[in-house]
Amino acid sequence: MKRIETILYGIYPKSEKLRIRIGRWERHILSTSDLVDNLRQETDNVENEWSESGIEHWASPLFNWYDIFRPLSSLIRGIELGPLTRYHETNTFYRIPVVGNDLSVNDALSNKGETKDGLPLPLYYGNSEWSFLPGLMTFYAMSETAGMKQEEFTEKMVPVYRDILKLTGKKKLFVFESSDPGQFDYSIYKEVTEPSKTVIFFSKPPMKDNLSSISGKFYSLIESSENPHDLSLHYSQLRGVSVIDAHSTSVENRQKILEQVEDIGEDTILTSNDYLDFLPRVIADKKVRVLGGCSNVR
């Protein structure tokens, strides 16, 4: 039997209760320490549910992240929060990072304090070994960079990402690339952590040339596309497959997913085609149970 693993990533929808708590904290009715307790509690609850559902890997539900760049923008010296900007083809908005010249991790991360805009750390609640970071190509493409070239941005950010893993004690890296494909050498991530402990997710198919300098295998390369090419096969230990639709409230059928995976005939790691924060929580929970039910690693 082929191995089927599952992984969740990015921001997970909050419960109504936590959402209200954060609203109260924003209005200074709830203290930061009480909010931290709530964040920990909800993270524990969700991670227990995920585990019981059969999910093997996750990188924290990121309940204290307002979007995939924030609080990173708040933790990196040289980046400011810009105006609300539409996130791809959705009705969801993010604060665009406004990137300056000198980039480094600020003290808040190591002090486990607060971000510049007050959201309480740690960056990753829960006990997972995984970290989640937006891909550097995506970070660049979805920021205001005032003419900085992508190569320069990448060069400056790789040490920042390395520091984030070091300071948060995370061993594994989930990279989320959601921007349009362009020239980018993905082997750069080996300077952040070992490829065998790295998953890169592509919302849009990367150019094959971008992968040609990769030596060794990543844990997985996952494409969102319904018809992915075979990069995952060549460059990763497990073939990554997106089987859960994060932009539809129709809940997938487990049996159909298993048939799809059986047709692939390789060891696979299954996930969603985007992070699940675009869904109502109740639907996300149902989809996680379907995804976890596909795993055969117990």
Partner 1 sequence: MSDKNILVTQEIGSFRKPEYLSRTFHKIEGKPEFKDVAGKASLETLKLFSDSGMINHGIAGEMFRWEMYEYLARKIKNIEFHGKVRSFDNRYYNKGSVSGEISLMESPHSEELEFILNHTDAPLKIPVTGPYTMADWSFNDHYGSRLELANAFADLIRGEIENIQGIWKKYRGNEIMQVQIDEPAATTHPSEMDIVIESVNRSVQGIAGLETSIHVCYSKDYRVLYDRLPDLHLDGLNLEYSNRDILQLGTGVSARPGFSDLSYFSQINESLNVPKFLGVGVTDVHIDTVESVELIADRIREALRYVENPELVRLNPDCGLRTRSREIGFKKLKNMSTAREIVMGEL
Residue ranges binding partner 1 (CB under 8 A) = 13, 16, 19, 22-23, 26, 66-67, 84, 86, 89, 91-95, 247-250, 277-283
Q: Where are the beta strands (DSSP E) in the chain?
A: 4-8, 57-58, 76-86, 93-105, 130-134, 172-177, 198-202, 218-223, 236-244, 268-272
Q: How many helices (H) and strands (E) does the chain have?
A: 9, 10
280, two tokens: 């109502």
Helix axes 16-26, 32-53, angle to 10 degrees: 160
Report which of 73, 165, 164 is spatially closest to residue 117, judged by C-alpha positions.
Answer: 73
Q: Least distance in Å: CB of 91 to partner 1?
A: 5
Which is nearer to partner 1, 254 or 281 (by Cβ)?
A: 281
Q: What distance in Å separates the CA atoms of residue 60 and residue 37, rounded to the nearest whole number?
A: 15
To the nearest whole angstrom, how small is the minimum distance from the Cβ of residue 143 to partner 1? Answer: 16
CB nearer partner 1, residue 169 or residue 280: 280
Q: Which amino acid is at 191?
A: E
Return the structure tokens found at 78: 């040289």
Which DSSP symbol is given to 119?
P
Shortest distance in whole angstroms from residue 214 CB to partner 1: 32
Nearer to partner 1, 34 or 209 (CB): 34
State which amino acid sits at residue 117.
D
**Nearer to partner 1 (CB atom), residue 119 or residue 188:** 119
To partner 1, the closest distance from the beta carbon of 163 in angstroms equals 26
Report the residue number, 182 or 280, with the smaller CB distance to partner 1: 280
Least distance from partner 1 to the Cβ atom of residue 282, Å: 5
**Closer residue to partner 1, CB minimum distance, 65 or 189:** 65
